[in-house]
Amino acid sequence: MFDRVIPKFREVLILEELEPERCRDALKTLNELVCQPEILDKMIDYDLLQIAANLLRHPAWEVREQAALLLAAFALSKRAREIFGFAFPMLMELLEDETLQVREAVALTFEKLSVNDDGCLRMV
């Protein structure tokens, strides 16, 4: 089942004209699915880590929040942490986001990165 679901979410999330509510809902669904390691690996295979990082710049705060929460889930994966570098500049910017929920989601991402030695090394 997930062999079809993850690519469909990828297709949806890269649409530029996607309404913010649909983008947010797609990210929420991915956040619910990411707790399973095999699904997380599939998400990495389909570049969802990069897509989520790009969505950190979305104008809608709920999309930025959900993208940061998805990155927090990726932060627990060694494989994901190895390719996490491109997300740091955007995450750093969002530490000063105008919306508290976004700042909290970004802080959670950094907290989860800090649990592992290699995550800490990547942050500094």
Q: What is the pLDDT of residues 68-93, one digit of tens each?
A: 999 999 988 888 888 888 888 999 99
H or E element, residue 3: helix 2-13
pTM: 0.90
DSSP class of 31: H
Using CA atoms, how far apart are residues 23 and 75, in angstroms rounded to an integer?
21
Using CA atoms, how far apart are residues 7 and 78, in angstroms rounded to an integer?
22
Of 60, 71, 57, the C-alpha closest to 107 is: 71
- CATH code, 115: 1.25.10.10
Domain count along the chain: 1
Q: What is the pLDDT of residue 80?
A: 86
Residue 61 domain boundaries: 2-123
Q: Which of 3-7, 14-18, 111-115, 116-120 has the lowest mean pLDDT?
A: 116-120
Q: What is the pLDDT of residues 5-49, one digit of tens each?
A: 899 999 999 998 899 999 999 999 999 988 888 888 999 999 999
- Judged against a pLDDT cut of 60, whether residue 124 lies above it is answered with no
The count of other CB atoms within 10 Å of the CB of residue 2 is 12
